[in-house]
A and B are shown apart, each in its own frame.
Chain A
């Protein structure tokens, strides 16, 4: 009998989809595999490839099996294809096909829409590894280095998940798209990644933490929506990816939290009360809170752009056809069809921000973005608790949704973090107070010195409160190969 829980290693590619008895897909994936390994090897500096990293690898998809920790060299990490267990009698959860049995094959009429969604999701996975490729050289600790690599190998595995769907269900087109996922490259002139935020560099560790907090959270919301898909293989892929995605949220939230913690402690130790006494605070070798706020503003707004236009027929079609649901669709108490429902969407009319009621079906993106904002705001509150606990007078805040936007209704106007529309001249003079400047970036960069001693941390970041896999403080999370 096919074992769909435990990961089978009888092919070169670990999987729980019975790959060894699916010769066509196995062959296609084996052909794709060397390109993937080349991509990985070109990306990560060689001394890290040779290092032993304490990583978790899934040996099965049930709760007990997917977090086995051990030392592994990254190129030997068991990337593979893991789908969450099939839910018996699952039905399409939304749209016009609601209640029909979930599709095990691609419905012909939705083929191109579905392929596009999978390609866009797939494109972000390798992109973020590309964006983060140089961070290992400046890791503030072995603990953080391990976390970076864990995020990287899992993004790699998420690419595998999408590539499997392309190979399995989309024939020659799918194979071509899978090759293109390795051909495009973050920041490239000729073949950039598909979404703007994934072509931005991740120049330093604070950017990385902000990215994993804000941008990976967009990924989480997208995965949550795709996990509601009526196309069951996509739903099962995304459900398993979500369990891994939680670790990325963790890296972001605790990374920023530990940065804030260290700043506040250093201010206390030096007797500095004014959080805006920036020069003196920076002299302590920590990142001042106003600069952290600026980084937050930047990454939050880049991530909001990822949700696309507030009013979108594409999104309406995806929902109506049942191939993409809403965040936690199964917990929403409505008809799941939205034929007559309405939803509130912001827009700019005559120089004012107004709220309008529109058909809910067209406002799917807006709703997901609202859910995102709610989810993202939780961490801000927890960061503020850290500041409060140390006794510093400062509070971080999410800027207004219209601030610094390039996509959607707010992209045509300049809006302050508090939501006031201003002239483009005023924006030119004031935006340096709201977004990180080159000088801010240079300062952060000046702190980015590697700290590779077990149990030691760079000056600007506090140690974590709990080790990975319950390991003690001085655990050697990465055994560096320094040839």
Chain B
């Protein structure tokens, strides 16, 4: 099988031919004839400059292809072709294709938008496998356990769910996600689309060499899938798709210093990262920093186990926004408190920054990083862009 490529396309049924994209493209990769506006696959560098100015959304179309569609082909289209079915095996997703499944690719793209541009995997990350299982051919996992992580009196019900994959091959890296298809149909009688959940265990399993993985899932009011997952009993069977994601990954380089900033279940990938490091490089010191926010200690997933991780292995900063008799603290406040440490990382070429959690945290974190950078005589946007382009800045928010 030849190597797969991600091709940028424009939907001719949605496009209004205003040519704004063509005028915006800095390298002349977009052109038009009397019928269609098209992207030249041999020129497009995925800079994404054309995405935001498009008034219609027609510009935001992608297909994974083995042979790119030519300009002539695209000029002749009156609608976009369907995504062909591929399975990208290990080592073939080098182009940063996060998912072949269109809906999953769109979800991940939205989640990664906060990075401010085209994201890249860390240079030393292992090559991910993606989309081995899809809706037409899902994997079937068996529930091995379902534990509540938050205290019984907490309003927030967060679950640690362990899924056993039996004899199925399901290679998943820390930071990748899986899709879960809730059973049943929606109000229009359609089967539900899969929801994405980050894997919270390392690549060799929740227990080393058991073919299992864990998820960290919060029960959302009226959430079709989260309620389904949170209510799963031992022995229940679950349909999984994926794995998905090819950029929000752990660098294998032990020199890499990770600054991990998260809220709530955004901690899931960082649990995977930390456990991988513990298993692979247990003697490393001063190379992990975790900034973790929740409303109260009772709401913070894995609070107990985390406290037991020695500070020399991982520095931990907890921010609580609703703790009685305490001022409200958010992750950005903790970043500011640790400004010297953070400023040091901003000019360290081994530093990787990861942000994971609710979309609402992005702005505050960006502002804090921006202020800290300014204090150190740096321009945050340039630092961020440079880090992102070298695979060292990652955002996954939802």
Q: Which residues of A contact B (CB under 8 A)?
A: 62-64, 66-67, 242-243, 246-247, 249-250, 253-254, 378-379, 382, 385, 465-468, 470
Contacts and interface: CB of A to CB of B under 8 A. Distances in A.
A254 B17 CA distance: 12
Nearest to B109: A470
Interface string B121-162: 000000000000000000000000000000000000000000
A398 to B, nearest CB: 16
A429 B143 CA distance: 78
Contacts of B78: 385
A292 B58 CA distance: 26
Interface string B40-63: 000000001110111111101000
Q: Which 7 A-B pairs have the closest CB atoms?
A: A250-B55, A63-B49, A466-B57, A246-B18, A67-B52, A247-B55, A246-B20
Nearest to B78: A385
Nearest to B113: A470
Contact of B56 (A254, A378, A385): A254
Given A62-B49, A249-B18, 6 more contacts: A66-B53, A250-B16, A250-B55, A382-B16, A465-B14, A470-B110
B114 interface: no
Given A63-B24, A250-B16, A254-B16, A466 B56 contact: yes
B52 A250 contact: no
Contacts of B56: 250, 254, 466
Interface centre among B18, B49, B60, by most A CB within 10 Å?
B18
A379 B49 CA distance: 25
A67 B53 contact: yes
A64 B116 contact: yes
A63 B51 CA distance: 8
B260 to A, nearest CB: 26
Contacts of A63: 24, 49-50, 52-53
Contacts of B116: 64
B115 to A, nearest CB: 12
A153 B144 CA distance: 56
Nearest to A467: B57
Contacts of B48: 64
A378 B15 CA distance: 11
Contacts of A246: 16, 18, 20, 53-55
29 contacts: A62-B49, A63-B50, A63-B52, A64-B48, A64-B49, A64-B117, A66-B52, A66-B53, A67-B52, A67-B53, A243-B20, A243-B53, A246-B16, A246-B18, A246-B53, A247-B55, A249-B16, A250-B55, A253-B16, A254-B16, A378-B17, A378-B34, A379-B16, A385-B78, A466-B14, A466-B56, A466-B57, A466-B58, A470-B60
A142 to B, nearest CB: 17
Interface of B: 13-14, 16-18, 20, 23-24, 34, 48-50, 52-58, 60, 78, 106, 110, 116-117
Contacts of B60: 470
A291 to B, nearest CB: 23
Nearest to B60: A470
Contacts of B16: 246, 249-250, 253-254, 379, 382
Contacts of A67: 52-53
Given A64-B117, A466-B56, A470-B57, A250 B18 contact: yes
A465 B16 CA distance: 13
A241 B49 CA distance: 17
Contacts of A247: 55
B104 to A, nearest CB: 15
Contacts of B24: 63, 243
Contacts of A385: 78
A320 B117 CA distance: 43
B328 to A, nearest CB: 23
B91 to A, nearest CB: 31
Contacts of B13: 465
Nearest to B363: A70
A247 B53 CA distance: 9
A67 B59 CA distance: 14
B17 to A, nearest CB: 5
A448 to B, nearest CB: 24
A249 B57 CA distance: 14
Contacts of B58: 466
A148 to B, nearest CB: 14
A313 B117 CA distance: 49
A379 B106 CA distance: 28
A254 B18 CA distance: 13
Nearest to A385: B78
A243 B116 CA distance: 20
Interface centre among B54, B55, B116, B117, by most A CB within 10 Å?
B55
A67 B172 CA distance: 36
Nearest to A247: B55
Contacts of B14: 465-466
A385 B48 CA distance: 30
A64 B90 CA distance: 34
Contacts of A243: 20, 24, 53
Contacts of A465: 13-14
B190 to A, nearest CB: 13
Contacts of A382: 16
B56 to A, nearest CB: 5
A147 to B, nearest CB: 10
Contacts of B110: 470
A468 B55 CA distance: 8
Contacts of A62: 49
A391 B52 CA distance: 35
A64 B52 contact: yes
Interface centre among B14, B17, B20, B60, by most A CB within 10 Å?
B20
A466 B13 CA distance: 11
Contacts of A249: 16, 18, 55
A72 to B, nearest CB: 15
Contacts of B17: 378
Contacts of B55: 246-247, 249-250
Nearest to A6: B381
Contacts of B117: 64
Contacts of A64: 48-49, 52, 116-117
Nearest to A150: B55
A246 B14 CA distance: 14
A63 B52 CA distance: 7
Contacts of A468: 57
A337 B364 CA distance: 55
Nearest to B116: A64
A249 B54 CA distance: 11
Contacts of B54: 246
A470 B48 CA distance: 15
Nearest to A227: B23
Contacts of A253: 16
